[in-house]
Amino acid sequence: MLKTRGVVLTHTRYGESSAIVHVYTSELGMQSYMVNGAFGKSRKDKIILMQPLNLLEMEVYDRKGKEIQRISEFKLRRALVNIPFSQKLRAQAFLLTEVLVRVLRSEGPNLPLFDFIEEAVVLLDSNCKGAENFHIWFLLRLASFLGFQPHNNYNDEYQWFDLNEGCYVSREPAHIYYLDNDLSFEMHRILNLDSDGLADIAARLDTRRKLLDAVIRFYELHQPGLGKLRSLSVLKELFV
């Protein structure tokens, strides 16, 4: 038996009343847990395991060699107060969980990464100023934990961000995977911002949309297994 913190990402229905819940944990990395009765009459206490981005304290079984484990005890570390009740925050949460499930599928324990995700969930749930830009900032910061952090070497000479190389270059690349001067400068600004600067990211709707498209393309180039994200269309309909 092992105690760990966890962030709920998603779940898959299993049979008539059970579910397999996918959780990124502080001590074990990405884990899948069988939850019996998740959709049954006695599901009330288990519903917190089904809410994406819920932050948990858990006591779990860790049986080596088993792909699906079981949870002995669990409780909320902190209740989400805004995400479940805001359509826009839920749309961002949908994008975050969809990306995290795909890029962390084989990720082992990484405490700095876990702490970053947990703190980011708290920030999003606070519905802070500039929250409409949160997902762009989050994805760029997440990349640094995944090994392909954008290199912010922007200056008067290096003004084009090459998505393929992950850095600024001195001339327009021969391929199509780069940002123009204006968007490259916006990327430079974001890479310099901490979480308290979210409101300073692109205010224009069209610029925000282009930035998100650029970040997703950056992920596609460096995480080939990412695949098509269903959450993007939902997010764009609301406010991207």
Residues 19 and 108 in one domain: no
Does residue 138 share a domain with residue 120?
yes
Residues 72 and 139 in one domain: no
Residues 231 and 154 in one domain: yes
Of 61, 79, 97, the one marking the end of a domain is 79
Q: Calculate the alpha carbon distances from 209 to 15, 59, 161 in Å.
A: 39, 41, 17
The crossing angle, in degrees rounded to 10, of helices 205-222 and 134-146 is 20
Question: Is beta strand 68-78 parallel, antiparallel or unpaired with respect to 29-35?
Answer: parallel
* pLDDT band, very low/low/confident/very high, at 228 (cuts 50, 70, 90): confident
| pLDDT score recorded for residue 143 | 95
| Top-ranked range on mean pLDDT: pick from 6-10, 75-79, 85-89, 233-237 | 6-10
Predicted pLDDT at 1: 86
- For the cut 80, the answer to whether the pLDDT of residue 180 exceeds it is yes
Residue 106 and residue 64 share a domain: no
User: Could you say which of 50, 79, 108 is where a domain stops?
Assistant: 79
CATH number, domain containing residue 204: 1.20.1440.120
pLDDT digits (tens, 9 = 90+) for 49-61: 888 999 999 999 9
| Whether 97 and 185 share a structural domain | yes
Asked which of 56, 79, 102 is the last residue of a domain, the reply is: 79
> How many structural domains is the chain composed of?
2
Helix (H) or strand (E) holding 207: helix 205-222
Whether residues 133 and 215 share a domain: the answer is yes
Do 109 and 194 lie in a common domain?
Answer: yes
Matching residue, tokens 């902190």: 78
Q: For residue 36, what are the contacts with CB-CB under 8 A and spacing of at least 6?
A: 17, 18
In DSSP notation, 81-134 reads SSGGG-HHHHHHHHHHHHHHHHHSTT----HHHHHHHHHHHHHHHTT-TTGGGH
**CATH code, domain with 36:** 2.40.50.140
- Domain range for 191 is 82-240
Q: Are 108 and 71 members of one domain?
A: no
Residues 110 and 9 in one domain: no
127 and 205 share a domain?
yes
- One domain for residues 114 and 226: yes
Q: Residue 239 has what pLDDT? A: 60
177 confidence band (pLDDT: 50, 70, 90):
very high
Amino acid at 21: V
pTM score over 0.75: yes
